[in-house]
Amino acid sequence: MDKALQHCVAEVQAISAVPDIMRTLAELTGLRFICVAHVTDATWTACAILDRLDYGLKPGDPLDVTTTLCEDVRDTGLAIVIDSVDDSPVYKDHPTPLMYGFKSYFSVPLFRPCGTYFGTLCGLDPYPASLSNKTTVTTMRLFAELISKQLKTAEQATLAAAG
């Protein structure tokens, strides 16, 4: 992993609220995999993970970005929320849910305080879940906004520790 990606992982790891955010989202949604990922046009890198499905991903691990829905979030800047892949006209035949074995999914964009795209707060599970209700979507967006606002503080702390 190159230094820029290491820096992004360290930024997220420095945000003390991230583990609590992921645990809260897991409890709220019933999803057993929640993560924060740094996403570019060429890379998907796990920065923080709550993995109750034993997928085995660790912070710093990459995925092929072209196999993720996070790529779509990066391209559009819009969240994706899927209660049930099987009931979704957009995603029921999409290769990504089949490849990763999920039925429910969300991905909310994360932006640096200056407005540039950082990545996503996302979650998934092999079973359908009620994710698209107003309270859950609002909570996901608020947590993504909180992480986004903390990225600058984390970046400053990471630079101070390195320097």
38-50 per-position pLDDT tens digit:
999 999 999 999 9
Are the C-beta atoms of 99 and 22 separated by less than 8 Å?
no
3-class DSSP assignment, residue 18 = helix
Give the rounded distance of the alpha carbon of 126 from its chain centre.
16
Kindly report the CATH number assigned to the domain that includes residue 97: 3.30.450.40
* Domain contains 130: yes
* 163 found inside a domain: no
pLDDT tens figures, 95-118? 999 999 999 999 999 999 888 999
Note the pLDDT of residue 108: 98
Q: Does residue 18 sit within a domain?
A: yes
Does 161 fall in a domain? no
Domain containing 126: what range? 3-156
* Domain count for the chain: 1
As a dihedral over the C-alpha atoms of residue 81, residue 84, residue 90, residue 95, rounded to 10 degrees, the angle is 100
Residue 120 within any structural domain of the chain: yes
Residue 40 placed within a domain: yes
